[in-house]
A and B are shown apart, each in its own frame.
Chain A
């Protein structure tokens, strides 16, 4: 009976989801929580489009001669898969969904610093996405997500402009979101919320925002130059009219390598929260974890040349970029060791978000360590542009970032919706994703060293067995992603009432109701303790 009463209480309570109804109340909202939901729906849709492209690719590669499509179509599939997954799913995923929802609540604010700008970022994202969908429907783009010149600027007959325009536009969405977060963290913290009391999620999103604001304009410039070259033949990248095709690669990777960290730093922030909440202790080495985010953000700007070891760049430049690439691995290692150490003498639970976090630790470790192969010059010569590279960055981007996004979504879902999902299904899905992921991408490491090249629509017959294994894994992975889609939607109506703090976790976001009221807190909280102030008992003294 008491459950029914509580249910009634939540229904009658006014919160951000039920304070107003109707399409207009959503499309004109300036509430950071509603904007987060808008982003969540949009990026889930784009993820499904990108995943369909991946599914078709894995079907194509079941047979060495290509099972279903012409090579030209295959090129369009991997291009759209890359463009959508990088710019329309991974980059906005954790920052724009979880970041938008949580940053103000975690620092005790009512909203972000510029709520209208926040809504504008979402509209810019939608305009960019429309360009991409237009490109897809009207014939696609075949340059790969990297748009290398002079192929993109002179030789491709596909819709390069539409795709580049979409990416150009969505970049401004990133810049505005980054700007908003930086100002919010500086100016909107509640009384007592000092920098070293901030949750590590805030630290890592702050570092991400700096990279977003500094790196994304370079992408905009690069793509504009490419488009100008394509239409006006101004001779920047085409050597036939005095340009330099490698200049594009330098500019592109000057953005796109930091972009890798735009995708993975927020994931690291989520993992810090999950590990702390489910082991009920402060993250081990808080300051080391916080500052390693900044070390990563800084060095990320200096390693772009490791994408160009075989491009004809000088041997000495290659050596400098190789050394810096090894250096950027160290702070990531520090984080993994600290998270693992947090589990030591913790009160560790096996809730679904924790399983995602542990999955992240394993997969990110493998992804990071295989990155050392690619940072090493003479091995990269052999592995460059092979499936080894594909496997490596999917371990980071999918094994790392998507696992963290899923973990974060499960952790904060009760806060966002006020409901709990079925925990058994959630744990089952986490396992399925982990198994499916490894089956899909582990064989690709071996394929890569054997010499199977990326972006190949047809391939030598001796690689078939491993490719079939990989495609089989992809189907399991697909099922793993489908299950949460079903039970999360189901839980919005039928899930158990969560209450304000179902995990008994620390953090300001858990001190307000679920779902939170429009203003987040009934009254502005005053912070008196550090993040993760979980109770501990003194060390046992041996007698």
Chain B
């Protein structure tokens, strides 16, 4: 019934103007479905209230100044009905909306990674092979893509209406979203968080390509260095290697294989080494010191920008990969 009704209003209204942006990702149709359910629910209750008001206002209009209305007793069952039925419907919508959100909260393990840095008023994007883009993002069709995002200055927000994904992009930490595009073409992305004078011009396009075309694009745009090799170069330039080397006799943390593992902090808490952990370990090393190491590391705050930080983290991640593969074999 509701489906038919939803479909009805969607088609009727779309004759005049579109009611939703293109649905070009795996989650977009799921979000739209809940949206149309809620729209139908809203229209139903609005018309219900309107209908009652009109009916009562006409039927029980004041006919003379001295009219004395009839007594009406408060009915507790009626009060309970209009408390409990809305509560039940709200619970249904809550579980529907939350489960959809929860299912899509974590990117699949095989996601292609792209790194995003927002700054007033542009987007810098970088692929793992080092290919850089400004205000454009090329992605392959039907492949999950994970964006790891940070800001050089104020809070921005990366929003792709056609994919129904949005997340704030904060200075000093990483946030991430993921999507899997299901339609070829180009789709607008915009900054959704007010970030200053040219906030409304901070937009670009996601270009969804066939996987073969994308591979070709990626190869032709590949710079001489991948992110991790650029990171490796920084690793030696900044002198990281002098402490974090293979045979430092346990004085300094070993970085090989550390990504994705749990470590114990000096305060006894456990933490997973992810991008965010590595980032704060570089720029603010004494905020979450790892247990077992007494020497404190100098901070690299202000000496390294967000793009370099992402390179460095990409390099640290590769240090683990070689060992893991060896272990599997």
Contact = CB atoms under 8 A, between A and B. Distances in A.
Nearest to A333: B86
A156 interface: yes
Interface of B: 17-21, 27, 30-31, 34-35, 38, 41-42, 45-46, 49-50, 52-53, 56-57, 60-63, 65, 67-72, 74, 78-79, 82-83, 86-87, 90-91, 93-94, 96-98, 100-102, 104-105, 120, 153-155, 157, 159, 161-162, 164-168, 170-173, 175, 188, 190-201, 284, 287, 301-302
Given A155-B196, A344-B56, A369-B46, A326 B41 contact: no
Contact of B38 (A337, A372, A539): A372
A362 interface: yes
Given A150-B171, A379-B97, A315 B105 contact: yes
Q: Which of A318, A372, A465 has the most CB of B within 10 A?
A: A372
Given A310-B166, A382-B31, A156 B56 contact: no
A347 B170 CA distance: 58
Interface in A309-350: 310-312, 315, 318-319, 322-323, 326-327, 329-330, 333-334, 336-338, 340-341, 343-350
A466 B171 CA distance: 35
B90 A373 contact: no
Given A376-B94, A379-B34, A384-B166, A450 B196 contact: no
B235 to A, nearest CB: 23
A279 B166 CA distance: 48
Interface stretch (A164-172, A225-233, A280-288): A280-288
Interface string A139-168: 000111000101100111000000000000
A378 B62 contact: no
Contacts of A380: 97
Contacts of A155: 120, 153-154, 196
Given A150-B171, A319-B102, A348 B196 contact: no
A343 B18 contact: no
A453 B70 contact: no
A466 B188 CA distance: 19
Interface stretch (A185-193, A208-216, A266-274, A529-537): A529-537
27 contacts: A71-B199, A75-B199, A142-B197, A150-B171, A151-B196, A155-B153, A156-B196, A239-B171, A279-B60, A284-B74, A319-B101, A322-B94, A326-B93, A334-B83, A344-B60, A344-B72, A346-B56, A347-B67, A369-B46, A377-B97, A379-B34, A384-B166, A384-B192, A449-B21, A455-B200, A536-B71, A537-B69
A322 B91 CA distance: 10
A376 B72 contact: no
A389 B71 CA distance: 42
Interface stretch (A47-55, A109-117, A456-464): A456-464
Given A142-B197, A312-B168, A460-B188, A330 B42 contact: no
A381 interface: yes
B201 A71 contact: yes
Given A279-B69, A322-B94, A382-B166, A340 B74 contact: no
Given A310-B168, A336-B49, A365-B49, A144 B194 contact: yes
A337 B86 CA distance: 11
A75 B121 CA distance: 15
A217 interface: no
B93 A372 contact: yes
Contact of B68 (A239, A454, A458, A535): A535
A151 B155 contact: yes
Q: Which of A327, A365, A504 has the most CB of B within 10 A?
A: A365
A379 B72 contact: no
A457 B200 contact: yes
B86 A379 contact: no
A290 to B, nearest CB: 13
Contacts of A362: 46, 49-50, 53
